[in-house]
């Protein structure tokens, strides 16, 4: 591990010390020069940062060029989208090997296979994001790095094909890793499921939508180009006809006996149209003059309605009071009798004489009458039932004595 760290530090130190050569190689090929320059180029070539092109000429490592281009968002014309088929095949193979070892109970190299699988997933995710960055950069710059209109059309058609291939690979990624996520959940391999879900499956819909937006933008550009091409073709035909027509540059005619209509056309009566968007003084004056000549717009005045005269409504008919229920009639009779005497009245005995007309049970009448009489302020005495049992917590009474209030 220590040796690997030293090698990485050595590589980054060499790139830092020769950053000018790396920047020069990013733009164009690097050629040999003086002794110090040659030693620096040899050092970068030994680290494989520069690759030989021919004798004395070196170019930047393509992988390092891609990394710098992604950082600078600087892409060349006809930059190919990163293909995902190799990474998809690698992920499928690693997952199959992990499942076979998991089912067979073989835990050897499990961590290394898991790390390799995670690197493959991250590589697919990075490749998709790189393709999106490339497409967005090219769309924002109207597909630069071309010198003619026809070259731009060819470039647009090229990227339409590239996007179609990319969408097919995105569908393969979706099918494969949806299946892997399900199998990992069933097998209890939650680490694999978490990585696949966070890095790929939860973001596939967003990526696919962005790629389709770019595709729609290129299709609109191609459509506008076809419309423009048709107009240019028609214009070229008119230009060709004018060049072939002998009268396109004028003709000579004798003035003797020539009709006057040939030199003076018939006048056509026209009316001046006022442009309301004209901000000049003359246009504003013409607009004000036209407004003054317009008839006034009729403005309807609100009609005032006289309020209706006040009237006094007198009701000669007095509403009849609502009829009382039979038990209320009997209660009023009882209250009247209590107010006419000072003695006590047994409600049970008094009720037994009146109850046939009411049709209520004695217990219901005693309960109703006792409540109403108590609200009227009549003193009441409840007579206990001598033959009652001890099964009830409340005291049981079978009669109520009302005291007269005369």
**Alpha helix ranges (H) inside 245-301:** 281-293
Statement to judge: residues 115 and 225 lie in one domain: yes
Phi, psi of 214 (to 5 degrees): -65, -40
Distance CA 20, CA 33 (A): 14
User: For residues 40 and 25, what is the distance between their CA atoms, to the nearest angstrom?
Assistant: 13
- pLDDT, residue 106, reads 66
Per-residue buried b or exposed e for 301-333, using 16+ beta carbons within 10 Å of the residue's own CB: eeeeeeeeeeeeeeeeeeeeeeeeeebeebbee
> For residues 403 and 93, which has the higher predicted lDDT (pLDDT)?
93
78's tokens: 């006809």
Take residue 297 and report the two structure tokens written for it.
């717009």
78 lies in some domain: no
Question: Does residue 58 surpass a pLDDT of 60?
Answer: yes
Would you say residue 307 lies in a domain?
no
Higher-pLDDT residue of 191, 359? 191
Looking at the fold, whether 95 and 54 belong to one and the same domain comes out as no
Distance CA 307, CA 309 (A): 6
Give residue 154's domain range: 85-231
Q: What is the pLDDT of residues 256-315, one digit of tens each?
A: 776 776 667 777 777 767 777 888 888 888 888 888 888 888 888 888 888 888 877 766
31 and 111 fall within a common domain: no
Residue 227 shares a structural domain with residue 91: yes
127, 188: one domain? yes
Distance CA 44, CA 100 (A): 43
Helix (H, G, I), strand (E, B) or coil at 323: coil
For the chain, the domain total comes to 3
The rounded distance, in Å, linking the Cα atoms of 275 and 233 is 34
pLDDT at residue number 201: 85
Q: Please check whether residues 91 and 199 belong to one and the same domain.
A: yes
Classify residue 314: in a domain, yes or no: no
Task: Indicate if 25 and 132 belong to the same structural domain.
Answer: no
- Which residues neighbour 383 within 8 Å (Cβ) at sequence distance 6 or greater? 397, 398, 399, 400, 401
Please compute the mean of the pLDDT values over residues 200-211 and round it to a whole number.
Answer: 86
* Span 63-92, pLDDT tens digits: 888 778 777 766 666 777 888 888 889 888
Q: How far apart are CA 118 and CA 207, in angstroms?
A: 20
Residue 135: alpha-carbon gap to chain centroid: 23
Contact yes or no for 181/193 (Cβ under 8 A):
yes
- pLDDT score of 139: 74
Q: Average pLDDT over the chain, rounded to whole?
A: 79
CA trace torsion 54, 58, 64, 68 (10° rounding) = -130
Residue 254 forms part of a structural domain:
no
pLDDT at 146: 60
Q: Are residues 40 and 96 in the same domain?
A: no
Domain assignment present for residue 209? The answer is: yes
Query: For the segment 35-47, what is each residue's pLDDT rounded down to a tens digit?
Result: 888 888 888 888 7
Instruction: Indicate whether 129 and 166 sit together in one domain.
Output: yes
For the cut 70, the answer to whether the pLDDT of residue 385 exceeds it is: no
Contacts of 148 (CB under 8 A, 6+ apart): none
Domain stop point among 231, 252, 279: 231
pTM of the model: 0.48
Does residue 48 sit in the same domain as residue 90? no
């Amino acid at each position: 591990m220590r040796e690997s760290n030293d090698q990485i530090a050595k590589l980054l130190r060499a790139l830092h010390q020769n950053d000018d050569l790396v920047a020069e190689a990013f733009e164009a090929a690097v050629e040999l020069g003086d002794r110090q320059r040659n030693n620096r180029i040899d050092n970068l070539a030994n680290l494989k940062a520069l690759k030989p092109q021919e004798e004395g000429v070196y170019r930047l490592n393509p992988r390092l060029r891609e990394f710098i281009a992604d950082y600078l968002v600087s892409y060349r014309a006809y930059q190919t989208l990163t293909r995902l088929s190799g990474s998809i095949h690698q992920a499928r193979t690693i997952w199959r090997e992990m499942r076979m070892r998991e089912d067979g109970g073989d835990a050897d190299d499990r961590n290394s296979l898991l790390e390799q699988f995670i690197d493959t997933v991250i590589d697919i995710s990075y490749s998709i994001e790189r393709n999106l960055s490339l497409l967005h950069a090219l769309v924002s710059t109207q597909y630069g790095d071309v010198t003619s209109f026809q070259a731009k059309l060819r470039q647009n058609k090229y990227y339409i094909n590239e996007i179609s291939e990319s969408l097919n690979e995105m569908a393969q990624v979706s099918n494969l890793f949806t299946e892997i996520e399900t199998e990992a959940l069933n097998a209890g391999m939650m680490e694999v499921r978490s990585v696949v879900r966070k890095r790929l499956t939860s973001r596939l819909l967003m990526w696919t939508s962005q790629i389709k937006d770019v595709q729609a933008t290129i299709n609109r550009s191609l459509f506008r180009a076809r419309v423009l091409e048709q107009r240019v073709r028609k214009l070229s035909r008119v230009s060709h006809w004018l060049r072939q027509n002998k009268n396109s540059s004028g003709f000579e005619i004798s003035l003797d006996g020539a009709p006057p209509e040939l030199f003076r056309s018939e006048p056509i009566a026209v009316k001046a149209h006022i442009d309301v968007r004209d901000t000049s003084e003359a246009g504003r004056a013409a607009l004000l003059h036209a407004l003054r000549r317009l008839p006034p717009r009729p403005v309807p005045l609100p009609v005032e309605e006289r309020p209706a005269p006040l009237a006094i409504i007198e009701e000669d008919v007095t509403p009849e009071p609502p009829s009382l229920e039979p038990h209320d009639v009997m209660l009023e009779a009882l209250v009247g009798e209590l107010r006419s005497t000072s003695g006590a009245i047994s409600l049970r005995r008094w009720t037994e004489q009146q109850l046939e007309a009411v049709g209520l049970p004695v217990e219901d009448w005693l309960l109703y009458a006792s409540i109403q009489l108590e609200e009227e302020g009549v003193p009441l005495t409840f007579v206990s039932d001598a033959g009652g049992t001890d099964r009830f917590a409340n005291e049981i009474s079978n009669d109520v004595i009302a005291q007269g209030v005369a």
